Structure 1
Amino acid sequence: MLRSNRDKQQNYELVSIEDLVPADHLLRKVDKYIDFIFIDEKVRHLYSQDNGRPAIDPLVLFKMIFLGYFYGIRSERQLEREVQTNLAYRWFLGLGLTDRVPDHTTISWNRRTRFKDTTVFQDIFDEIVLQAVSHRMIGGRVLISD
């Protein structure tokens, strides 16, 4: 008998992103060995603590930017689209299936305005590289950065 899967798009299912991301996915290894929590301390002084609208969690913002570099996604607009549809990316960022993905304009604004004239990107990159080297995730003899 011929079956149709067309009606399944309207089903409600109890699912966990944790169960949908393969155990051997590369981002699971990154998550296991790289502790991104240091980002909060690096950027705290750049955020207002007592006024304005609530900001996007800096951890989510920088992990999104990390995904862009890690997977060669050069456009912030494309990065937003990729995170919307890729379950592994959502898992890595700590976003649920129905959580709103940060808008590409928010990423751009933070990069061009909040973090302008700071070394925060370089500092975060350096720390990630140091952690990766210490866990033998990457190797190499020379690292040159501007």
Structure 2
Amino acid sequence: MAMTCLNNRKNDSFILSTIDELVPSDHKVRELEEAIDWTFIYPLVRPLYSSFGRPSIDPVVLFKMLFINFTFGIHSMRRTCEEIKVNLAYRWFLGLSIDDEVPNYSTWSQNYIRRYGDSEIFDEIFNRIIEEAIAYDFVDLDTVFGDGTHRKANANSRKHENKVVEIVKK
């Protein structure tokens, strides 16, 4: 019997489908989209945005990115942005087409620092999202998990040096 080798197939096929059709109906992002009314964010953040300058990134997209980060256990916004680039379910959740550029991690962090750093609005939005997730039973309040992962510190025990410093009187 001859062996079949799939390495010679090209990955340039056309798919006649929508992102909505490619995201499974039982995916967590669909539950999140149904559970939370994200539109409440717009009136809260409107004073933080200007009508001048370059078009901004949708603030709902920025908060949904954060929620992807927490919900799916991704440990950095940089990694979250990389995951969004290749994950169609995340793109669907954010409302991004396959051609849309994913916001850069630094864009997210600079928005947080510059827009929300000196205001209570970020906490207000985040708390409301959590409240809606709890109301929809998306969050289990009966079980608490603690992470006891041991990590080796980035410390060099041989790098420590004892120095004698001469005190000079002025």
Q: How does 1:109-124 map to 2 (within 5 A)?
A: 109-124=110-125
Distance across 2 between alignment mates of 1:8 and 1:39: 44
Q: Which amino acid in 1 is paired with 2:12?
A: Q
Tell me the secondary structure at the aligned position of residue 122 of structure 2.
helix
Q: Does 1:14 find its partner at 2:16?
A: yes
Greater shift in the superposed pair: 33-42 or 68-77: 68-77
Q: Which amino acid in 2 is paired with 1:29?
A: E
- Structure 1: runs of 5+ lacking an equivalent: 142-146
Distance across 2 between alignment mates of 1:108 and 1:89: 19
Q: How does 1:1-146 map to 2 (within 5 A)?
A: 2=4, 4=6, 6-49=8-51, 51-140=52-141
- Structure 2: runs of 5+ lacking an equivalent: 143-170
Greater shift in the superposed pair: 1-10 or 59-68: 1-10
CA RMSD of aligned residues (A): 1.8
Once the two structures are TM-superposed, the CA of residue 119 in structure 1 deviates from its matched residue by: 1.4
How many residues end up aligned between the 2 structures? 140
For residues 37-92 of structure 1, give each alpha carbon's deviation from its aligned partner in whole angstroms, at most 9, with x where no partner exists. Answer: 1111111110002x110001111111111111222223221111010011111111
Question: Which gives a bigger RCO, structure 1 or 2 (Cα 8 Å, sep 6+)?
Answer: 1
Once the two structures are TM-superposed, the CA of residue 6 in structure 1 deviates from its matched residue by: 4.2
The two structures have a TM-score, normalised by structure 1, of: 0.86
Q: Which amino acid in 1 is paired with 2:14?
A: Y
Pick closer, same or farther for the CA change 1:140–1:13 going to 2, 3 Å: closer
Tell me the secondary structure at the aligned position of residue 137 of structure 2.
coil
Q: Which amino acid in 1 is paired with 2:83?
A: E
Distance across 1 between alignment mates of 2:106 and 2:96: 19
Distance across 1 between alignment mates of 2:109 and 2:126: 18
Structure whose alpha-carbon radius of gyration is higher: 2
Q: Would you identify which runs of 4 or more consecutive aligned residues in structure 1 move more than 3 Å?
A: 3-8
Tell me the secondary structure at the aligned position of residue 9 of structure 1.
coil
Distance across 1 between alignment mates of 2:14 and 2:137: 42
Q: Which amino acid in 1 is paired with 2:99?
A: T
Pick closer, same or farther for the CA change 1:140–1:16 going to 2, 3 Å: same
